[in-house]
Structure 1
Amino acid sequence: MRIAFYGSSLLSSYWNGAATYYRGLISDLHRRGYRTTFYEPDAFDRQQHRDIAPPDWAEVRVYPATEAALREVVAEAAQADVVVKASGVGVFDTELLHGVMAAARPGAIRIFWDVDAPATLAEIGAAPDHPLRRALPGLDLVLTYGGGPPVVDAYEGFGARRCVPVYNALDPETHHPVPAEPRFAADLGFLGNRLPDREARVEEFFLRPAALLPDRRFLIGGNGWHDKPMPPNVRAIGHVYTREHNAFNTSPRAVLNIARDSMAAIGFSPATRVFEAAGAGACLITDAWIGLELFLKDGAEVLVARDGAEVAEHVAALTPERARAIGEAARARILAEHTYARRGAQVDALLREVAGRRRAGQAA
């Protein structure tokens, strides 16, 4: 099958947390015989911060953020067997949604792929005439990278024919153990961009423990933190390219996952960072959220904290031996149950099911 995929960026993770997710899924689907063209706008300086070259497992079309270019890439949806509009493209989102679904040929599978379901659902819940809400009944599938039963129920309540979570996962060829690097050395590392619905949780789960443990070293990577007041034992290093994530995860004694407010509230939403860290064999400390046990076991494969004081307790008590044991257990669990090969098989089965039903209906 040929897939036309309209998303934020495949080539750059700069202000684009979905990049790892897209890469893992699309590369696995390529191995299964799918041919994907990924359409991404030249916007937000992402093309100036690419962290992979154009891959051999997808054709990437970078288009100017203009109405003329939009018309061209929308028209190409007619050539595909599967048309995907992802959330959060950031440029012409509404026009892309209506345009590509209208351009899709009869018989094509139409999908909305939501990489931030809590935010999207909040938007359409507040606006009965929201463009996506109007489009849902005409789509074959809504796929989400997290959310579990609450997201499925909400989407189907808004009129989606079917909503299926396709969770983040690990690509073991990309994220794996590497030797530690001194520039990333710390007792606790955190990697994440500064976002309005994450900042208060970063203050609680990262900066508060740093203040409580002035003799320990804390490391924060990601965009936007350069002017954030921090304790003197916190070192901010700015954007960390995907190719550096393995070293970032293996060098500190532990790494921290902090869900955004909306993701924590809805649960069942493991970030890509969870799988990247586990794949590198890192000892992961995470804030608590519903559904975590589907992915990692508290106390054996991950350390769970309900506030900053508990993060500080974990950091203070963690020995190198225990950190290594937790990291190895997490890596074994994720490799066994949560790789992109498994997610690709899930998507492949869904697409074949929809296509099979369509053929059966035409035959009847």
Structure 2
Amino acid sequence: MRVLLVSPRFHGYHVAIAAALSARGHDVSTHAYDDHGTVAGRAWHQLRHQLPHKIGAGSHRRLAREQTARAAEVVAQARPQAVVVVKGDTLGRQFWEGLDGLPRVTWLYDEVRRTRWTHERLAGLGPLATYSALDDVDLEAAGLDTRHLPLAYDHRLVPEPRRPRTPDVSFVGARYPTREQVLTVLHEDGVPVRAYGRDWSSHPVDRLRTWRLGTPTLPAARDVTRSEAYEVMAASAATLNLHGDQDGFTMRTFEAAGVGAVELVDRTDVGALYESGAEVLTFADLDELTALCERIVADPAWTEPIRQAARARTLAEHTFDHRAAVLEDAWDTA
């Protein structure tokens, strides 16, 4: 079938989803609805939309209208036989009306409360998939066509060359207060932590991009690509997967395991996906996390079976190819 994938450009995950759909025999075209093009285009976006919003002089309504118009035009030109939408909460009625009569499914990788979606808006969209188990229950109770669909690992993105192993306990991701607290405690306890990302970096460009003056006093590096993040996690003594106020499991859950990293995850309910102690390592508090880090750094051989088991489980059950099959089944019921 001719499948149109409409998705944010967030870390290039739309490329992984498109490849998985293509592997199932579909002719896939992709529209990244929040792609602002070149460096000049992204700079103009910052000046026209982000800066006014930051200083309270504007809203995102104009941006949403522009994204909606572009996406609706793509639907009209592509004439797809099925449509997969990822998130899509900024896209307005013009876009969704253009999908009337088409097999489609919308995959939400955030909790509904974190987006512009409401149950009322979602009710007219057709089949839904959500990474949030709690949202799945709520949406079903509201009478919506929903299924729980966790995120996944992009097994086609194989990092080369592999980095040599390091004694670092890494964290790759955005800086939130709870995450900063965890890394700070580990650092103060003598654990060799290192954070990666623009929010952590002291580089002047990163401070400008994140609208801040200061920077945390933690060992940190600048942004890495997704491929580089895979390398960093695999090479680290261990890598942190910190959720905080989320009930869905992050993409990092599957990526860290998929590259054969030693994943330290703050969710003891990960058992439905991975076996704690054998495939990932879970912790309930910072004292337990510190003790795990100290053991991992002191005895790297202990973690080798965990690395191998995590990767094997991921490739067997948790790739984007596995998720694409569920999306296909969902649009078949539209």
TM-score w.r.t. structure 1 length? 0.73
- The Cα shift of 1:48 comes to 4.0
Q: What amino acid is aligned across from residue 248 of structure 1 in structure 2?
A: V
Which of residues 212, 222, 234 in structure 1 aligns to 2:189? 212
Shift of 1:178: 5.6
Selected match of 2:99 from 100, 104, 125: 104
Using the TM superposition, give the Cα deviation of residue 120 of structure 1 relative to its aligned residue in structure 2, in angstroms: 4.0
Query: What's the offset of the Cα at 1:288?
Result: 1.9
Q: Which runs of 5+ in 1 are unaligned?
A: 14-18, 50-63, 125-131, 356-364
1:191 to 135, 151, 172: 172
- Identical-pair percentage: 23
Q: Could you tell me how far apart the structure 2 residues matched to 1:254 and 1:280 are?
A: 12
Q: 1:282 Cα deviation (Å)?
A: 1.0
Is the partner of 2:30 in helix, strand or coil? strand
- Counterpart-to-counterpart distance in 2, 1:225 and 1:315: 21
Structure 2 match to 1:284: 263
| Distance (Å, rounded) in 1 between the aligned partners of 2:257 and 2:160 | 9
Report what 2:180 is aligned to: 203
**Residue 317 (structure 2) pairs with residue 333 (structure 1):** no
1:177-212 Cα distance to aligned partner (Å, 9 max, x none) = 963247xx3430011112xxxx23213432211111
1:244 matched to 2:228? The reply is: yes
Distance in 2 between residues matched to 1:208 and 1:46, nearest whole Å: 40
Q: 1:294 aligned to 2:272?
A: yes
The CA deviation at 1:83 is 3.2
2:56 aligned partner: none
CA contact (8 A) 2:8 2:34 kept: no
For 2:314 and 2:266, the matched residues in 1 are separated by 18
Give distance in 1, aligned partners of 2:16 and 2:189. 38
Q: Give the conservation status (yes or no) of the 8 Å contact 1:296–1:333.
A: yes
1:46/1:210 Cα in 2 relative to 1: closer, same or farther (>3 Å)? Answer: farther
Aligned residue identity for 1:202: R
Preserved CA contact (<8 Å) 1:212 1:312: yes
Runs of 4+ in 1 over 6 A off after TM superposition: none
Question: Map of 1:307-346 to 2, 5 A cutoff?
Answer: 307-318=285-296, 319-346=299-326
**Distance in 1, Cα, partners of 2:38 & 2:241:** 27
Where structure 2 has 5 or more consecutive residues not aligned to the other structure, the ranges are 41-61, 202-213
* 1:229 equivalent in alignment to 2:206: no
Identify the residue that residue 128 of structure 1 maps to in structure 2.
Answer: none
Say which SS state the counterpart of residue 189 (structure 1) adopts.
strand
Q: Residue 138 of structure 1 aligns to a residue in which SS? A: coil
Q: Residue 27 of structure 1 corresponds to which residue in structure 2?
A: 19
1:321: Cα distance to partner?
0.3
What is the identity, as a one-letter code, of the residue corresponding to 1:259? H
Candidates 31, 45, 49, aligned match of 1:39: 31
**Is 1:256 matched with 2:240?**
yes
* 1:225-278 deviation per Cα after TM superposition (whole angstroms, max 9, x unaligned): 233323xxx3210211112123201221111100141x1xx3xx2221122211
Give the deviation of 1:175 after TM superposition. Answer: 4.2
The one-letter code sitting in structure 2 at the alignment partner of 1:257 is N
Give distance in 2, aligned partners of 1:327 and 1:5.
Answer: 33
Residues 25, 68 of structure 1: CA spacing in aligned structure 2 closer, same or farther, 3 A cutoff?
Answer: closer
Per the alignment, residue 143 of structure 1 pairs with 129
Q: How does 1:21-170 map to 2 (within 5 A)?
A: 22-41=14-33, 47-48=38-39, 70-78=68-76, 79-87=79-87, 93=90, 96-105=91-100, 107-120=101-114, 132-144=118-130, 146-148=131-133, 150-160=134-144, 162-170=145-153
Alignment partners' CA distance in 1, 2:319 and 2:87: 23
1:307, 1:118 → 2: CA distance? 27
Q: What SS does the aligned partner of 2:219 have? A: strand
CA distances 1:289-330 after superposition (whole Å, capped 9, x unpaired)? 43x012111111111111222111001112110122211111
Residue matched to 1:172: 155
Q: Secondary structure at the match of 2:171?
A: strand
Task: State the distance in 2 between where 1:66 and 1:112 align.
Answer: 18
Partners of 1:285 and 1:237 lie apart in 2 by 20
Q: CA deviation at 1:343?
A: 1.5
State the one-letter code of the partner of 2:170.
Answer: G
Aligned 8 A contact 2:5 2:29 in 1: yes
Aligned residues: 297
Match of residue 2 from structure 1: 2
- What is the CA–CA distance in structure 1 between the aligned matches of 2:264 and 2:303, rounded to whole Å? 10
Q: How far, CA to CA, are the matches of 1:310 and 1:280 in structure 2?
A: 24
Asked if structure 1 preserves the Cα contact closer than 8 Å seen for 2:109 and 2:132, the reply is no
Give me the whole-angstrom Cα distance separating, in 1, the residues matched to 2:160 and 2:289. Answer: 24
